[in-house]
Structures are given as C-alpha cells and as structure tokens.
Chain A
Amino acid sequence: MAKQKLQFSPDNPPLLPLSRRSVLQALGISSTAAVLGSGLAQAAGSAAAAPGDAAEPGAQILNMTVNGEPHSLKIDPRTTLLDALRERLQLTGTKKGCDHGQCGACTVQVNGRRVNSCLSLALMHEGDAISTIEGLGTPEQLHPMQAAFVEHDAYQCGYCTSGQIMSAVALANEPYGTSDSDIKEAMSGNICRCGAYSHILKAIKQARG
C-alpha cells in the first residue's frame, strides 16, 4: 500500500490529542496538501490550544494577566514563564536565547519589575501581571522607548531587542543613576551579540529624557 498523506489546515487541526499510535495510524490516511505560509502561523495560535488533562498529566490551572488581559491556562508545572508565553499564548515577541538567565533575551516585566522569564516557572505567577513587548506598543503606535530604538538603530538582527526594551523601560523605575556607566551596568544583563550597545545607550537616554 502506498504511503498516503496527512492533512493540516486551519479548519482541520488534526492529531489532537496525539499519541504515538494515533500518528502511526494517521500515516495511512489520505488528504490533499496544504501549503502553510507564515500567515497561518498567526491563525494557528488559537487552533493549537493547550492540551487537556489526558495529554498532560499533572497540569494545573494558572491565572495570570498578560498585557492587561486575564488568562486561565492549564499548564504543565515544568513549563517556564517564557515557554508559556511563547508556546501556549503565542506571544513570540519574547525570545529564547539560553534558558539559563544569562542572555536577557526573554526579559519581561512581572508586576512592573524586569525578570528573565526563562528562569521562572509559569505556575509561580498565579495572580501576577505580566507585561511583554507586544503590550508595549505597535508599529503604528510605538512606545517612546521603541521609537527611540528605531531612530538610533539600537539593534541589528533584532533578536535581543524585545528583552533590551523591556529591560530599558523597567530600568526607569529602578534606583540606578543616570550616568552612561550606570545605564551600561544596569543593562549588562541583556547581551547584544551584534554589539549595538552605543546605539542602545543613546536610545535609552533619549527615551528617558
């Protein structure tokens, strides 16, 4: 018997719940092909909802606010705040760079304070208010810090940028001084491997006024 194809489409999010057996069975099912473009990735956010109990034994309920919106998630206790944001809520503006709190790419704000979301389990944030880059501003209406980053070319690849900006915005409320060396020290938890540091410094100084 010729191997037949599986179908994936936004209308038919298949293979959930998925086990090894169901996948092997599914390999025998015919369908038409769907080419998936990046537009679908956005649409897929709601389709790929959190799996249920049977799929994730031990999952617990987590209630938290993200960018002002309340969320109730059933979540594996091993899930970091970073992975909950990225893989469950599809808030992929927050980036994964090391999973060890060493690079700062995953910086978000928890109740107004900056944290490395990779170092914090999601379930520790019951009742917390999380702010991510998506909640700060949009391309049409940028937060002053975001606008300053664009103006001063305070990035190259842009991958560390969300973390840099979330860090920089939170920094304004921290008891650091305002000299260049104070800002540089306070921003040293956010690595920019492209090395756009002087541009980041200029952007932060402008946005702080």
Chain B
Amino acid sequence: MAPSTSVTVIGQGLPRIDGPKKVSGLAQYTSDHHFPGLLYAVPVTSTVAKGRITALDPRAALAMPGVVEVFHQGNFAGKLFRKQASKGKVDENRPPLSDNTVSYYGQYVALVIARTFEQATEAARAVKVEYASEPPNVSMRLAAEEKTSVDTERGDVDQAFTSAPVKIDQVYTTPVQTHNPIELHASVAVWNGEQFTLFETSQAVMNHQMVMAQMLGVQPQQVRIITEYLGSGFGGKLWPWTHATLAAAAARELGAPIKLVVDRAMMFQTVGHRTNTQQRIRLGATADGKLNCVSHDYLFHNARLDTYKENCGEATGFLYSTPNLRAAWSFARRDIAPPTSMRGPGAVPGLYALESGMNELAVALKMDPLQLRLANQPERDESLDLPFSSRHLTECLHTGAERFGWARRDPRPGSMRNEAGAVVGWGMAACSWMAKALPAKATVQLAANGRARVMCGTQDIGTGTYTVVAQMVAALTGLPLARIDVVIGDSSLPPGPMSGGSMATGSLVPAVQAATQAAIDEALQAAIEHDPRFAGKAPGALAFDQMQVSIKGEQGKAVLLQDILQAAHMDHVSGEGEGAGSAEAQKHYSQHSYGAHFVEVVWQPEIARLRVDRVVTVIDAGKVINPQTGRNQIEGAIMMGVGMALFEETEYDPRTGAPLNANLADYIVTTHADAPEVDITFLDYPDMTLNPLGARGIGEIGLAGIAAAITDAVRHATGVQVRDLPVRIEDLLDAPVGLAS
C-alpha cells in the first residue's frame, strides 16, 4: 500500500518543521504562558541541609505591597499527597511543605505569592525562617552503606583476576553534574474549579499527569499537562518536581493562575542532578590482549528519603567478550537533594570507567587501544546469552579509525605535534546505549482541507520529534511536511512515550505508522462508499498517494481525497494506531546502539592550556530518520562530553551542604569557543527487531564513552592519567610533557 515515494522521506535531513517558530520567538515555552489575573510564586529555600524548621514568620512578607499569600508547613500541610509506589515516576515523593524536616540545602520551606515577580522575589527574602540544624554529610568519598547488589555475573572474576598475566585495578570517579538546560524549570498552573490545566516543563506529559493527579488528590481526567515546547531537559525534566505540585496546589488554594519559574540557583538544588560515582574497574588479560575478566564495582550517592539507581553497569555485561565478569553496586546516603537521570544515566559514567580501564589495560599490554577492542568483540550477548539484534561496533571502530587517521598514532606520550607545533594527544573509546521502545498510541486524521494531522501525547524536547513524526506520516501518505500538522505536548492526546532513554522515536514509529495506515484505509473506504468512480471496488484494488485515491493501474485518473470528503460532507477520516513496545523483542534479542569516538586534544604546557580540538564519532543507531537533526544530537552530546571531561562539577560546601557553584559562570559548560571540530558518521543499519523502520534512539549514546576518549587523549598528550573527572589544569601542572620536555 505504501507509495513509492515513501522510502525517500525517511532518512532525509529535512529542516525542522518547528524551526520558523523557534527562530522568530513565537514557539511558546512553559514560562511564556500568561493569563488574566496571573500571580507570581517565588519559593523560599532552606539555608541548611539537615535539620528542622523551628520557626517561620511570614508577617513581614505578608505586609509587603502586592503580597497575596505566604504558604508554609503551618498553612499548607495536607494540601498535597504522596503518589503510589507503582503509579508513575517521581524522584522526590515527599510533598513539599508537608512537615518541618529539611533533608537538603535549597529545599522549599515556603512559597510567596504576589501580584508581580518583583514583589514576590523581595517578599521571599523577607520570610524569616529559623532552623535547628546538624552538620550535613555531603562528602563525595563513598563507602557502601547498603547491601551490594549484582547486575550481572559469570565465571569466577576474583580467581581470574588473581591469575591474569596482565591486569589493571583502578578507581574512577565522576562528580555531581547538573543538567542545566537553558530553559529554567517552570510551571504555569490554572485551576478552574474543576480541572487543572498545567503548563509544565516536562519530558513526559503522560507521567506528569498521572503523578500530579495523585499528588493533588484529584482524578487524572481533571489534570491536563501541556508542554508545547521544551527548552531541553537532558533527563532533569522527566519526572515532576516539587515546584510543580506547589504551583498547582497554590493555584487551587487561591483560585488564581500561578506562574512559578525556578531560578538558576534552584536548578542546582531542587530539580535533580547526576549523582557522583566511584567505580572500581579490574580487568585481566592474556599477554596477547584477550580479556579474561571484567570486574565493575560501583557506588553512588542517594538522598535521604528517596532511592535512585545510577545503572553504571548497563553496558558492562555485553560490550566485550570475557568468560569471567561481574558488575555490582551499592550506594551511600548524603544530605543532598535527590539525584535523577541525566543524559545517558548509568552508561555515561559507567562507560567512562570501563572504557578508561580498557585504555589503561592497553597501556599495560603495550597494545593499541583500538586493537584491544577489536580483539575482544563478542559474537552474542554473553550476559543474557542472546543474539545481538544488530551490532556493528567493529565497523564503527574501523570507520572511525580511518576517518580520524588513527594509524598515524605514535603511542609515546607527548610525541605528536600539530601543524602549529603544539603537542597533541589522541585517544579513543567505544560507546553503547540501550535500544528500547515503549507502548504508544497515536491518531492520524486526513482532512478535507488537504492536510494531515497526527496527534500523540508525547513531546519534543529539542530532539526533533515534531519533524520525525511528520516524516513518518509523509512516508505513508506522500504528503509534503508543510501539509502535515503534528500535535503533541498535551496529556489529553492519545498516550505517547516519554522523551527519555532515547526511546521516543523508536516507540512512535509503529504507532504513527499504524495510525496513518488506518486513516488511509478509512480514506479508501470513504472513496468506495461516497464516490461513484470507486463504488464496488475492493480496498485492495485502490491506491493512495499524496492525498489522492486511484484504482491501481489507473493512477492517471486519481481523485483528490479532499474532493471525496467534501462531496461526502466529511471533515476528515481518521485512524488510530498502537505500538506494543520492545518488551517482547527483548526476550529474544540483546538490543543496543553502539559507537566509537576518536579524540584529539591540544596541550600547550607553556600556558597550561588544554582543549579538545577534533572529534570523530561513528554511531550505529539503526535507521536514522532525519540525519540532520540526528547529527545535531550526537554533536550536542559530544559538546556535553567535553564539559563532562574538562569542566563540569557541582561542588558542595561541607559546612552548609550548599551547591557552591550554583550558576552558569562557576558551573562551566562548553561554550562556542570550546567547541571542537566534529565529524560524525551514521552507519545506518536498520534494526528491524525494534520497529518497522529499524530506528533506534540517538539522544544519549553520543555522551557515552566520550569522556574516556578525552582523558586517554590527555594522557597521550601530557603523560598524566586523570581518573577523577573533570580534568583540571592543576592535574597537569606537573605533567611529564611539560615545559621541561
């Protein structure tokens, strides 16, 4: 049934359909919404990390001009509820202002509502709060406090390690990192007496609806979540945070629309972070570089009240072939706000450690790190004992090495120079990220105005969902993207996937395809019933392309669907579609994406200047529906990887427990001037076990492994092996490849 044009639009780097709105300032993000009578909410945040509130005096604030209300435990407890354990996801389940305990610095202790943002901001400073506080523990040195759990195990790791001819045993640490999307988290909450309309910064409007309904104590159909445009999230906007419940409950209490925008300092306190990790990697190999054991023991921190797992062992079990392997974990609690998923949760810090270990093993073996990886590729997933659905890591490694010029590498540290005479270092690493799909539903309408409309309760977080969904519809209808309306970002639409885990696109493919096909089938039925030219024909005898119906073999006499519908007094035909997700396929296949990074750093010891100059990345992520938006995502992940390797660390004051560098000048992210030259290749092998287009996700994999490639390049340039991220200039001041060399 699919017309011949269908193959062309999938895999085309078409411009984003939402681009013109984004570049003209018309795309409406959450905090852009405004309503008559809107009130502004500004939270008061705790200045201690551990203790309890002993007194809270709102009188001075209430007396200030424009102040409408000050909510605090005394007048707000009981307005919000906990959600059930099994229904929906949230990282902080304690309702805000529900009691007087403080378990992290920056916890909301009051909420000031005023007529203007300026009035609310000043009044928030006037709320007097007294605490009985205890010294917090925000130490980044971790010891297992909970029982160790095993992710995966085979053979006898300890015995194999003891007898290994060549081995490494190192601890790698990653610091707390903070998502810092440029869009501040925000809620604009409207309660009309019966229903909540909540404009939220959400990567998952359906989950947001489910959680908010429970926490507000209303039915899900009383809550509508809207996220038309999201200023990115990187995982930090997956699950609702306390500001969202506060804003909604305040709107209900006051009967007025409430706008609450989290400020940048609060972005480091109340909306999650990537937990720090401390990972011991033990690798053993034969003298010719065959791995005989991989041991990955990792720790991370958790908040006092909620438990999150940073799944660092995600890729450990299947990335390389080895008879003996174990990945195991535990955690320690700290007086720090709850951590959450951040881009490539688990695998990103986990592969930093594992791939750093591989690079150090290569040094110990006096072997090229590329050859070490090539020599240890598994035939099947040795952890799950399943075949790989589609794994082309070896080709990624070969292609990347060729594009980078890896064969010219001289392994001696400090031995290579660029054209300007500066020291360069080369490093590489492999990467992987899970390929999964979630259940999803979608509706497609083909309308009498000649346009198609696709509707789904998913959202575009900057990844290009608007555009790739339009491409999916275009592939089956033959319509140009300009005639396809994509309606997403609203929980009242058919339930769609979250934008997390690189799962949205792959989950949407079967649902949108099925819905489009169902709508086309309806169109053909309408033609048979309402147009005498098609009366009595079997649907299979008809063809549909570019909103035209024809008899197969007589495409020259095609009839516009809009004419058929108009004659039949129909506004549109519609179809519904559903995707089942990948749970069944995962019983039969090990489904993952793969890739390889090759990095060049430039080291100028005379001015202690280090920069990442060039990155070559090859990604095997199945069929890439839009290579332009896809390449942009991989490149963006590499930019974040430069930050992870060289800049990003949230530091906590041991006296107060406060995140110290809670702003964008002191928490350094990659700027334009830091951006390396990037060369990205997609292998483009469709993974047909995942969905009918063979598309896997691409949002996260680019950040996996890149930090290990960078630190290996730093070692190659400077002779210094940094294991505690980020690499600091002070780590390199005594570098063997320094001024003296």
- Chain B interfacial residues counted at CB < 8 A: 89
Q: Taking the complex as formed, is B122 at the interface, i.e. its CB lies under 8 A from any CB of chain A?
A: yes
Q: Are A8 and B257 in touch, CB under 8 angstroms?
A: yes
Chain B neighbourhood of A26, CB < 8 A? 255
Complexed CA–CA distance, A138 and B20 (Å)? 8
Q: Are B195 and A35 in touch, CB under 8 angstroms?
A: yes
Q: Taking the complex as formed, is B355 at the interface, i.e. its CB lies under 8 A from any CB of chain A?
A: no
Q: Taking the complex as formed, is B184 at the interface, i.e. its CB lies under 8 A from any CB of chain A?
A: yes
Given contacts A93-B24, A102-B663, A157-B231, contact A198 B66 (CB under 8 A): no
Considering the complex, give the chain B residue whose CB is closest to the CB of A201.
B672
Pick from B195, B230, B461, B670: contact of A195, CB below 8 A: B670
Given contacts A8-B192, A48-B37, A158-B231, contact A78 B122 (CB under 8 A): yes
Q: Taking the complex as formed, is A23 at the interface, i.e. its CB lies under 8 A from any CB of chain B?
A: yes
How far in angstroms is the closest Cβ of chain A from B372?
29
Given contacts A18-B68, A157-B461, A162-B25, contact A100 B264 (CB under 8 A): yes
Complexed CA–CA distance, A133 and B25 (Å)? 6
Complexed CA–CA distance, A90 and B32 (Å)? 8
Complexed CA–CA distance, A150 and B467 (Å)? 13
**Residue-wise interface mask of B (56-67) relative to A, using a CB-CB cutoff of 8 A (1 in contact, 0 not):** 000000100111
How far in angstroms is the closest Cβ of chain A from B440?
22
Complexed CA–CA distance, A146 and B244 (Å)? 33
Residues 24-46 of B contacting A (Cβ, < 8 Å): 24-29, 31-39
Considering the complex, give the chain A residue whose CB is closest to the CB of B664.
A102
Chain B neighbourhood of A197, CB < 8 A? 639, 670, 672, 675
Pick from B34, B184, B232: contact of A44, CB below 8 A: B34
How far in angstroms is the closest Cβ of chain A from B50?
28
Q: Taking the complex as formed, is A109 at the interface, i.e. its CB lies under 8 A from any CB of chain B?
A: no
Given contacts A76-B116, A97-B183, A133-B25, contact A188 B671 (CB under 8 A): yes
Q: Taking the complex as formed, is B529 at the interface, i.e. its CB lies under 8 A from any CB of chain A?
A: no
Pick from B23, B115, B228, B261: contact of A142, CB below 8 A: B23
Considering the complex, give the chain A residue whose CB is closest to the CB of B667.
A102
Q: Taking the complex as formed, is B407 at the interface, i.e. its CB lies under 8 A from any CB of chain A?
A: no
Complexed CA–CA distance, A105 and B670 (Å)? 15
Complexed CA–CA distance, A138 and B34 (Å)? 21
Chain B neighbourhood of A86, CB < 8 A? 32
**Residue-wise interface mask of B (1-28) relative to A, using a CB-CB cutoff of 8 A (1 in contact, 0 not):** 0000000000001011011111111111
Q: Are A38 and B635 in touch, CB under 8 angstroms?
A: no
Q: Are A38 and B228 in touch, CB under 8 angstroms?
A: yes
Q: Taking the complex as formed, is A114 at the interface, i.e. its CB lies under 8 A from any CB of chain B?
A: no
Chain B neighbourhood of A63, CB < 8 A? none
Given contacts A18-B37, A48-B37, A158-B18, contact A196 B229 (CB under 8 A): no
**Residue-wise interface mask of A (130-154) relative to B, using a CB-CB cutoff of 8 A (1 in contact, 0 not):** 0011101111001000110111010
Given contacts A41-B32, A160-B182, A194-B462, contact A150 B192 (CB under 8 A): no
Q: Are A153 and B193 in touch, CB under 8 angstroms?
A: no
Q: Are A35 and B669 in touch, CB under 8 angstroms?
A: no
Complexed CA–CA distance, A5 and B194 (Å)? 8
Pick from A83, A153, A159, A188: contact of B182, CB below 8 A: A159
Chain B neighbourhood of A158, CB < 8 A? 18, 22-23, 27, 229, 231, 462
Chain B neighbourhood of A134, CB < 8 A? 24-26
How far in angstroms is the closest Cβ of chain A from B546?
24
Residues 64-106 of A contacting B (Cβ, < 8 Å): 76, 78-79, 83, 86-87, 90-100, 102-103, 105
CB < 8 Å A-B pair total: 282
Complexed CA–CA distance, A155 and B629 (Å)? 9
How far in angstroms is the closest Cβ of chain B from A2?
11
Chain A neighbourhood of B118, CB < 8 A? 76, 78-79, 83
Chain B neighbourhood of A105, CB < 8 A? 182
Complexed CA–CA distance, A54 and B232 (Å)? 39
How far in angstroms is the closest Cβ of chain B from A161?
5
How far in angstroms is the closest Cβ of chain A from B429?
18
Q: Taking the complex as formed, is A184 at the interface, i.e. its CB lies under 8 A from any CB of chain B?
A: yes
Q: Taking the complex as formed, is B640 at the interface, i.e. its CB lies under 8 A from any CB of chain A?
A: yes
Q: Are A156 and B462 in touch, CB under 8 angstroms?
A: yes
Complexed CA–CA distance, A34 and B115 (Å)? 21
Given contacts A98-B663, A161-B23, contact A156 B181 (CB under 8 A): no
Complexed CA–CA distance, A27 and B193 (Å)? 10
Q: Taking the complex as formed, is A127 at the interface, i.e. its CB lies under 8 A from any CB of chain B?
A: no
Q: Are A34 and B192 in touch, CB under 8 angstroms?
A: yes
Residues 632-647 of B contacting A (Cβ, < 8 Å): 632-633, 635-640
Chain A neighbourhood of B62, CB < 8 A? 20
Given contacts A23-B69, A41-B28, A134-B24, contact A198 B183 (CB under 8 A): no
**Residue-wise interface mask of A (1-37) relative to B, using a CB-CB cutoff of 8 A (1 in contact, 0 not):** 0001110111011111111100100110001011111
Pick from B34, B190, B629: contact of A8, CB below 8 A: B190
Q: Taking the complex as formed, is A193 at the interface, i.e. its CB lies under 8 A from any CB of chain B?
A: yes
How far in angstroms is the closest Cβ of chain B from A117?
13
Chain B neighbourhood of A47, CB < 8 A? 36
Q: Are A156 and B232 in touch, CB under 8 angstroms?
A: yes
Q: Taking the complex as formed, is A61 at the interface, i.e. its CB lies under 8 A from any CB of chain B?
A: no
Q: Are B182 and A19 in touch, CB under 8 angstroms?
A: no
How far in angstroms is the closest Cβ of chain A from B573?
25
How far in angstroms is the closest Cβ of chain A from B33?
5
Chain A neighbourhood of B39, CB < 8 A? 18
Pick from B231, B232, B256: contact of A18, CB below 8 A: B256
Q: Taking the complex as formed, is A192 at the interface, i.e. its CB lies under 8 A from any CB of chain B?
A: yes
Complexed CA–CA distance, A6 and B251 (Å)? 11
Q: Are A139 and B21 in touch, CB under 8 angstroms?
A: yes
Interface residues of B (CB under 8 A from A): 13, 15-16, 18-29, 31-39, 62, 65-69, 115-119, 121-122, 180-184, 190, 192-195, 197, 199, 226, 228-232, 234, 254-257, 261, 263-264, 461-464, 628-629, 632-633, 635-640, 663-665, 669-675, 677-678
Known contacts A102-B665, A156-B463, then 17 further A-B pairs from the complex at CB < 8 Å, ordered by chain A residue: A6-B192, A6-B255, A8-B36, A8-B192, A9-B36, A14-B37, A18-B37, A36-B35, A41-B32, A76-B116, A95-B231, A103-B182, A150-B23, A151-B15, A157-B229, A162-B25, A193-B232
29 contacts between A and B (CB under 8 A): A5-B193, A5-B255, A8-B190, A8-B257, A23-B68, A23-B69, A41-B28, A41-B33, A44-B36, A48-B34, A56-B65, A79-B116, A92-B29, A96-B31, A133-B23, A134-B25, A139-B21, A142-B24, A155-B462, A156-B632, A156-B633, A157-B230, A157-B462, A158-B23, A159-B181, A159-B183, A161-B23, A195-B675, A197-B672
Interface residues of A (CB under 8 A from B): 4-6, 8-10, 12-20, 23, 26-27, 31, 33-38, 40-41, 44-45, 47-48, 51, 55-57, 76, 78-79, 83, 86-87, 90-100, 102-103, 105, 132-134, 136-139, 142, 146-147, 149-151, 153, 155-162, 165, 181, 184-185, 187-188, 190-201
